[in-house]
Amino acid sequence: MAVANAAVKIPLEIPVVEKRVRNRAATEQAILDAAKRLLAEEGFQNFGINAVARGAGCDKQLIYRYYGGLNGLVEAIGTDLGSWVTDRIPDDTGGMFLLTYGDLMERLSMLFLDALRADPLMRRIVAWEVSESSEQVRRLSEARSKALAGWIERMRGSLVPPKGVDAQAVNAMIFAAIQHIVLASAVSDQCAGLALKNGKDWEKAATALKRLVRGVYG
């Protein structure tokens, strides 16, 4: 070992990559952005220290230093998630007057459906939630559901569900259905035999959803 030909060390590194500046705040942000982007685009399968470091274009050591590892990084994502939700989902009624609880839930369903369809990161997190039971995903899930519950509460106003209907359970079903078909569509363009490719397919789905809501809430 350690034999001859030790005069290698070819430093052919072409420093085309712009010199990494010495800026902690910017690096932290780059790491966070890379993590979110990676999670949204690749999913939680290949989500790891090395992948994030590669995506951020920095050494993984910095992730340990600045976030205390992957867990801390995920936690930081979760913290962002609150504002994330309220950014993506409109907080007004869209100019409609919501007279009944049924009106409200129909509108909320549509908003949530569209928001989830348009948000890859959120989709990945939901998929993660139903696939793995770890501390990481627990925190993410908590942040997400908290933000969502707050949003619903704000939208609800003074409307109350009809008597004799377990609104909490029914709403859970509706939101579960929305989450599942959006997840399924993102993977296989269909769900339980229902195609979910083009806008026409989604209109059918939305109509069915509204019909379900109207069926229970009138």
Partner DNA sequence: CCAATCTGTCACCGAGTGGTGATTAGCAAG
Partner DNA sequence: CTTGCTAATCACCACTCGGTGACAGATTGG
Binding site for DNA (CB under 7 A): 19-24, 26-27, 46, 48-51, 58-62, 64-65, 69-70
Among residues 67 and 112, whose Cβ is nearest to DNA? 67
Residue 195 bridge partners (DSSP): 190
93 DSSP 8-state letter:
-
Q: Binding of its own copies at residue 170 (CB under 8 A)? A: yes
128: contact with its own copies by CB under 8 A? yes
Beta-bridged to residue 190, according to DSSP, are 195
The verdict on 214 binding its own copies (CB under 8 A) reads yes
Token pair 């001859």 is found at: 4
71 sits near its own copies (criterion: CB under 8 A): no
How far apart, in whole angstroms, are the C-alpha atoms of residue 61 and residue 218? Answer: 57
The C-alpha atoms of residue 67 and residue 30 are separated, in whole angstroms, by 12
User: In angstroms, what is the minimal distance from the CB of 86 to DNA?
Assistant: 30
Considering only residues 60, 120, 145, 147, which one is a binding residue for its own copies as defined by CB under 8 A?
145
3-class SS of residue 195: strand
Shortest distance, position 50 Cβ to its own copies, whole Å: 17
How far apart, in whole angstroms, are the C-alpha atoms of residue 139 and residue 128?
12
What span, in angstroms and rounded, lies between the C-alpha atoms of 124 and 122? 5
Query: Which residues of the shown chain bind its own copies in the complex (CB under 8 A)?
Result: 43-45, 127-133, 138, 141, 145, 148-149, 165-166, 168-177, 179-181, 183-184, 187-188, 191-194, 204-205, 207-209, 211-212, 214-216
